[in-house]
Amino acid sequence: MDFNYYIPTRILFGPGKLNELANEQLPGKKALVVISGGTSMKANGYLDRVVSLLNTQQVEAVVFDRILPNPIKQHVMEGAAIAREKGCDFVIGLGGGSSIDSAKSIAVMAKNPGDYWDYIGGGTGKGHPVEGGVLPIVAITTTAGTGTEADPWTVITHEERNEKIGFGTPETFPVLSVVDPELMLTVPPELTAYQGFDAFFHAAEGVIANIATPVSDIYALKSIELLNTSLPAAVANGQDLEARTNVALANTLSGFVESTSSCTSEHSLEHALSAYYPKLPHGAGLIMLSQAYFTFFADKAPERLTLMAQAMGKDVNSVEPERQPLLFIEALAELQKKCGVDNLKMSDYGISEEDIPKLAQNAFDTMGFLFTLDRYEMTLDDAISIIRKAYK
């Protein structure tokens, strides 16, 4: 039993918690507020509410509203330039994982020279150390998917090189995060499902990762249990605040998993898909891969899959031991059907079978580190086979 534990983020969790921003000690007096290029933050009044709450503390807000669903390096560099030009002393990510991830990356580049890819360790990144510090980060999440409010990780795509790579340092943990499920009531059913499954796979991969710990297992298995019971309800009725709160808690717990264990190669494979096909929602890509991926590991980490089957309510003692891990695959398929995401097809997003070897190679080239956290040393041929089986 050997692990380290470090999650320094102060988290305000629960319905109505956004209002407490008026009284929280903030890390500066001028914030760059990073939101998506869509309309939801403005149309739902979330941006105005945040700006108003900042004003009660005499904190000025500069809004940067260009972030894409799969965020890109160009916008990181643009946001960092604005933060420097306007003299912003901290960054707020308001919205989903793309906005909060971008805020983290902008916070890095606002204080460090050169190009963002200079600091990325995979693909064509140069892997330079971040020596100039990072602007303090505040995360206000309006979705339940990435857990980025509770971990240091940010995922950005180099749009010219088809490289989608995770990055983080201890300084990219948010100093403050607000998780208010009332802000999630407006997320449409399809996105609720995609985001919820992203959180699910953060937990599930954290369980099968070879660096899982007793602490990460506690977080991960509870997250899986909550999503299994509450995600279908949140998809069916977005106004169900109890279901939204349970899904939000599962998501934050999955962020804790990301800070105490890790994703595995499933995320590497999906990053390759959405690096080449940026209109593919990350959660949708994971859903497509998931049954083939976890079936591959059923005989390689059987006790781990059995734990997850139990968390999803399966009576593992009702079947012979060799079938116990397969009950997790069964429960996963049932959950996807309940959430209406059991018929997703890669071809719907323009992915062709001829692409598969290229995509698998990209996963190794850009996010190869996650393959080292698998409990079995996957080969390129294994990865190709998994994607082929997932392809529909």
pLDDT digits (tens, 9 = 90+) for 48-84: 999 999 999 999 999 999 999 999 999 999 999 999 9
Model pLDDT for residues 92-145, shown as the tens digit of each residue = 999 999 999 999 999 999 999 999 999 999 999 999 999 999 999 999 999 999
For domain 10-184, give its CATH number from 3.40.50.1370, 3.40.630.10, 3.40.50.1970, 3.40.50.800: 3.40.50.1970
**Structural class in CATH, domain 189-390:** mainly alpha
For residue 392, pLDDT beyond 80: no
Instruction: Name the helix (H) or strand (E) containing 271.
Output: helix 265-276
Instruction: Name the helix (H) or strand (E) containing 251.
Output: helix 241-260
Q: What residue ranges do the domains of the chain occupy?
A: 10-184, 189-390
Evaluate whether 64 touches 31 at the Cβ level (below 8 Å). Answer: no
Model pLDDT for residues 282-297, shown as the tens digit of each residue = 999 999 999 999 999 9
Look up tokens 């941006």; give the residue.
47
Evaluate whether 261 touches 209 at the Cβ level (below 8 Å). Answer: yes
Residue 3's pLDDT band (cuts 50, 70, 90): confident
pLDDT of residue 52: 98
pLDDT of residue 4: 83
For residue 374, pLDDT beyond 80: yes
- Please classify residue 389 by burial: count the beta carbons closer than 10 Å to its beta carbon, then call 0-12 exposed, 13-18 middle and 19+ buried: middle
Instruction: Name the helix (H) or strand (E) containing 367.
Output: helix 356-371
Dist CA 266 CA 289 (whole Å): 7
> With pLDDT > 70 as the criterion, what percentage of the chain qualifies?
100
Dist CA 68 CA 98 (whole Å): 7
B/e letters for 115-127, b = 16+ CB within 10 Å, e = fewer, are bbbebbebbebee
Helices (H), 126-213: 189-208
SS3 60: strand
CA 381 to chain centre: 27
Nearest to 254 by CA among 203, 319, 181, 327: 203
Evaluate whether 139 touches 165 at the Cβ level (below 8 Å). Answer: no
Look up tokens 């990865």; give the residue.
383
DSSP string, 6-47: ----EEEESTTGGGGGGTSPPS-SEEEEEEESSSHHHHTTHH
For residue 1, pLDDT beyond 80: no
